[in-house]
Chain A
Amino acid sequence: MPDLLLELFSEEIPARMQRRAAEDLRKLVTDALVERGFLYEGAKAFATPRRLALHVAGLPPRGQDVREERKGPRVGAPEGAVQGFLKSAGLASLDEARIVSDPKKGEFYVAVIERPGRETIEVLAEILPAIVRSFPWPKSMRWGAASREPGSLRWVRPLHSIVASFGPETETPEVVPFSVDGIEAGLTTRGHRFMAPQPIEVRRFADYLPALERAFVVLDSERRKDIILHDARDLAFARGLDLVEDEGLLEEVAGLVEWPVTLMGAFDERFLEIPPEVIRATIRANQKCFVLRGAPGPDGRERLANAFILVSNLVASDGGAAIVAGNERVVRARLSDAAFFWETDRKVRLEDRLPKLASIVFHERLGTQAARVERIAALARALAPVVGADAALAERAARLAKADLVTEMVGEFPELQGLMGRYYAAEQGEDPAVAAAIEEHYKPLGPSDRVPSEPVSVAVALADKLDTLVGFWAIGETPTGSKDPYALRRAALGVIRLILASEARLPLRAQIAAAAAGHGQEASGLAGDLLAFFADRLKVYLRDQGARHDLIDAVFALPGQDDLLMVVRRVEALGRFLDTEDGKNLLAGYRRAANILRIEEKKDGRAYDSAPDPALLSLPEESALADALRSAGAEAGRAVAAEDFEGAMRALSILRAPVDAFFDKVTVNADAAALRANRLALLNALRVATREVADFSRIGGEAR
């Protein structure tokens, strides 16, 4: 079966776009083929800084033949009908049609139209140029003399040549005949820009890959990443060091080279006085190099080594000495800048930086950073006792939490916000809890980020997030669909995880009101909507943790559920209860009762929601159930009030036997109306009792 090889050779493609572009190319080409009825065995796409390549294996040489019979007019039909038939069937004369006789209709003409399947290569010649012209680059450009005219080809950077070959493995493949804006598809590509600039003739994927390797191009980015990672680890190991791995950087660096050559450089040991995160950020962001860990310091803390790993694109004639020397110079200059920032930033105390925050707008409708800091400080102070933090420390931490935004270091490396604040706070002798909170108040940053546990950090982290959520809710900037520019979903999840991890009792309604007051707002307008948002986020979170979302619904359906810790405790207890035999049976009994009630209440057009009359209990099973409901309901209510959800479930579990016996022995729809009404009221009492712990009607499916 023939294969397609396609290569689009251009000037350097931004590293961050390569993976997606290869995937887009694969999908666009294979989708277009399948849409036209051409199936294939496999397809794989590749990207390097200078090329996108695609291999589609196992295509048919041509499409399926199509045979179609078309009925015409009867023999002897008027001339007009005959001509119309000939024309529509594409026949020159009636000689080319067959005559078929039908016992009912007599003899009539039939045209047999046979369309041979199209040559695959022909179809490719149609598909490929269209895909090149409309390729979905995130940003594309025009270039050269052709850009004089409107509608000239756009590509991510100038496109220079196209390889497109099609054919079976055993024969000489053919060039897919097409051109795009004067670039003719052919069989010629180029190797490495510096080490093999000559043209290379290729035929098919099987020889394309080795031809590129000979010309110093590793086509597969995964292989480039492997090479870099292994070489880097080896280089580090040989020096007794440890590579600080960094997947994002690895991906980027692999997109900057066609032939990775990994080298090690060093910098002056005195720079190790700079915080390691700063060294890493400097070397990573500006130089795209990896840092290394050395032996732990005297204090047992992890230390960086005064060395770095760089990945070049060249097997240099001096073994890389000049490349290493050049990179070391730049690293030296950058670290000098960082050392300067580290030096000068520490000359100004964090609290002395606060006035500057007054000139930085946080959001045009939510005021300045200074105003925000004031609000967060007030909230943190109020929250402190709830999470077991010292109120003064929480307020202090909140007040200093954003001060590092106006330091030189954070100006240069925004990703170090918080962390630098912590360093500077420690340097100026703040309480360790305050220093830690300055860094940790941004956390958790996502579902897998660590949740702070130090109470001061928890207080400030909660205050920061609640202020943000309430603020944006107050101005109507809430997330919609995939749009969440202020990361409010993340903030809400952060609040949830903070509350659960610290086991804080924090009824949200009151907290929302407090945060809204900071914004000069009434909470009434937004509290309901924001609570529903929290409930949604909690559901997503618990579902990810493996909880049943119907149980979460069953708990949230009860009124006044704004204490997330209690909601979760209750959901957990409910889940465990429903896993027991007692739980399953009670749920079954509840459903039976609820069904009967639904039907009878609908039939009678009334609700049976009054308490059962003890005088009307005629059978022992009725009395037994009524007694059990009275005591179980009361016991469950007491347990819930004491936040003992296990106890509440236990209390309900005693209902199992009387409920089973009731359904066994008692006919609910008794002939005597009063008796019937009282039995329905008894069933309703069961419904009411279960509502002490959850709305059982929201529980779905079979209990696992």
Chain B
Amino acid sequence: MSTARPLTATDADLQPTRSFQGLILTLQRFWAAQGCVILQPYDMEVGAGTFHPATTLRALGPKPWKAAYVQPSRRPKDGRYGENPNRLQHYYQFQVILKPNPPNLQELYLDSLKAIGVDLGLHDIRFVEDDWESPTLGAWGLGWECWCDGMEVSQFTYFQQVAGFECAPVAGELTYGLERLAMYVQGVENVYDLNFNGREGDEKVTYGDVFLQAEQEYSRHNFEAADTEMLFRQFRDAEAACRAYLQAGEPGPGGNDARHRMAQPAYDQCIKASHVFNLLDARGVISVTERQSYILRVRELAKACGEAWRRTEAGGLVGETAAP
């Protein structure tokens, strides 16, 4: 076709202030330039970017690690059938993890805001106390929510503990709420009006074009249709599988290789249990008292996986790891 545009989109289309994807690409380039590996989303349903093994597991152990990635995040309870301009049951987080945190992490974060078009001479950026805790991951850290003109646009956390283990060294974690940031820099009031691809006219694709129908369908699913009997079963199955894989990954007796061999597959089951629990919670079939016990069960899995991970090479096991 002679009307085909050049393969490289115009720079204007990919300005972070003009398109949702431009915002993502800009953040990726920015953090790539800081030495991060740019990963792709984890291929499982998770509630937040923190659940990606590139954060949860890699935050454990002594080895340095720098990564950045977009993570689709599912919060079944936040579904609003596409009718609320700010709330979504599926949204994108941009996640950065730097271990150990560099001394200038705050400055790097502010530079990244500049990169996506926030003029720091014009906007009021504030670091407001917000201590982060994930009861399901057995994790906590201190930090802030980052405000831009009174709106929370990011979470900034120094991980102190993950899966019940002290972080040594401490990792710095940044989580950008991409839709909110995009709404801000594009000057849009409704998330579904976001320009996704930066084109105009017939070629313009909005966030609504991509996700509105999905929000309606999944809200229906999350609140009305999700098969609770199946979900209860899946929770039990995932819990059992997690334990089984952890057991199966233990080093055999007699070998001189002390490494655990299946921490990551086991952790996948932990993630799965966590998401299934969120779905059950959205369906309102878990009572207040039961709720606590489910959270505790997922935490026990997370702790066991973290413990196994610390006995892997990436988890920092040194010493008698030489192959026989």
Query: Residues of A at under 8 Å CB distance from B?
Result: 11-12, 14-16, 49, 139, 141-150, 156-158, 160, 194, 256-257, 287-289, 310, 312-314, 316-318, 322-323, 325-327, 329-331, 333, 359-361
Contact = CB atoms under 8 A, between A and B. Distances in A.
B306 interface: no
Contacts of B102: 144
Interface of B: 62, 85-86, 100-103, 106, 119-129, 131, 141-144, 148-151, 158, 160, 167-170, 172, 184, 189, 287-289
Q: Which of A143, A149, A256, A359 has the most CB of B within 10 A?
A: A143
Contact of B170 (A144, A316, A329): A144
Contacts of A156: 142
Given A141-B142, A326-B123, 14 more contacts: A12-B144, A16-B129, A49-B127, A143-B170, A157-B143, A160-B103, A287-B150, A288-B150, A316-B123, A322-B123, A326-B150, A326-B151, A327-B150, A361-B289
B142 A323 contact: no
Contacts of A142: 158, 160, 167-168, 170
A317 B86 contact: no
Contacts of B123: 314, 316, 322-323, 326
A142 B131 CA distance: 14
Contacts of A144: 100-103, 169-170
20 contacts: A142-B168, A143-B100, A144-B170, A147-B169, A147-B170, A149-B168, A288-B150, A289-B150, A313-B126, A316-B121, A316-B124, A322-B119, A323-B150, A326-B123, A326-B124, A326-B150, A326-B151, A327-B150, A331-B150, A333-B85
Contacts of A146: 169
A310 B126 CA distance: 13
Nearest to A141: B142
Q: Which of B85, B144, B160, B288 has the most CB of A within 10 A?
A: B160
A149 B124 CA distance: 37
A323 B169 contact: no
Contacts of A257: 126
Given A147-B170, A360-B288, A194 B149 contact: no
Contacts of A312: 124, 149
Contact of A330 (B127, B143, B151): B151
Contacts of A141: 141-142, 158, 160, 170
A147 B100 contact: yes
Contacts of B149: 312, 322-323, 325-327, 329-330
A186 B23 CA distance: 41
Main SS of the interface on chain B?
loop
A15 B129 contact: yes
A365 B160 CA distance: 35
A361 B289 CA distance: 9
B280 to A, nearest CB: 16
Contacts of A49: 127
A583 B199 CA distance: 96
Given A142-B160, A256-B128, A325-B149, A147 B167 contact: yes
B125 A194 contact: yes
Contacts of A139: 131, 142
A150 B170 CA distance: 12
Contacts of A194: 120-121, 125
Nearest to A157: B142
Nearest to A146: B169
A43 to B, nearest CB: 27
B86 A326 contact: no
A77 to B, nearest CB: 61
Contacts of B85: 333
Contact of A359 (B86, B144, B151, B287): B287
Contacts of A314: 121, 123-124
B86 A11 contact: no
Contact of B122 (A256, A316, A361): A316
A318 B122 contact: yes
Nearest to B151: A330
Contacts of A157: 142-143, 158
A587 B170 CA distance: 73
Contacts of B120: 194
A315 to B, nearest CB: 9
B62 A148 contact: yes
Contacts of B121: 194, 314, 316-317
B225 to A, nearest CB: 23
A148 B61 CA distance: 9
The 10 tightest CB contacts between A and B, nearest first, are A326-B149, A14-B129, A12-B127, A327-B150, A312-B124, A147-B170, A148-B169, A141-B142, A147-B169, A145-B100
A371 to B, nearest CB: 15
Contacts of A327: 149-150
B150 A310 contact: yes
A333 to B, nearest CB: 6
A33 to B, nearest CB: 31
Contacts of B86: 333
B221 to A, nearest CB: 22
B19 to A, nearest CB: 20
Contacts of B289: 361
Contacts of A361: 288-289
Contacts of A149: 168
Contacts of B144: 12
Nearest to A360: B288
B103 A158 contact: yes
Contacts of A310: 150
A346 B7 CA distance: 56
A148 B151 CA distance: 34
B85 to A, nearest CB: 8
A97 B189 CA distance: 90
Contacts of B151: 326, 329-330
Contacts of A288: 150
B64 to A, nearest CB: 9
A149 B166 CA distance: 11
B34 to A, nearest CB: 16
B131 to A, nearest CB: 7
A143 B159 CA distance: 9
A359 B168 contact: no
Given A15-B129, A194-B120, A333-B86, A359 B100 contact: no
Contact of A150 (B103, B160, B168): B168
A251 B158 CA distance: 26
Given A144-B101, A144-B103, A145-B100, A329 B189 contact: yes
A11 B127 contact: yes
A145 B102 CA distance: 8
Nearest to B189: A329
Q: Which of A147, A156, A327 has the most CB of B within 10 A?
A: A147
A148 B166 CA distance: 10
Contacts of B189: 329
A322 B187 CA distance: 11
Q: Which of A257, A288, A329 has the most CB of B within 10 A?
A: A329
A150 B168 CA distance: 8
B100 A256 contact: no
B126 A256 contact: yes
B284 to A, nearest CB: 11
Nearest to B106: A11
A641 to B, nearest CB: 54
A11 B102 CA distance: 13
Contact of A322 (B122, B169, B288): B122
Contact of A158 (B122, B128, B158, B167): B158
Nearest to B183: A329
Contacts of B148: 326
A323 B124 contact: yes
Contacts of A148: 62, 100, 168-169
A148 B121 CA distance: 37
A328 to B, nearest CB: 9
Contacts of A317: 119, 121-122
A113 B125 CA distance: 62
B62 A143 contact: no
Q: Which of A289, A333, A359 has the most CB of B within 10 A?
A: A333
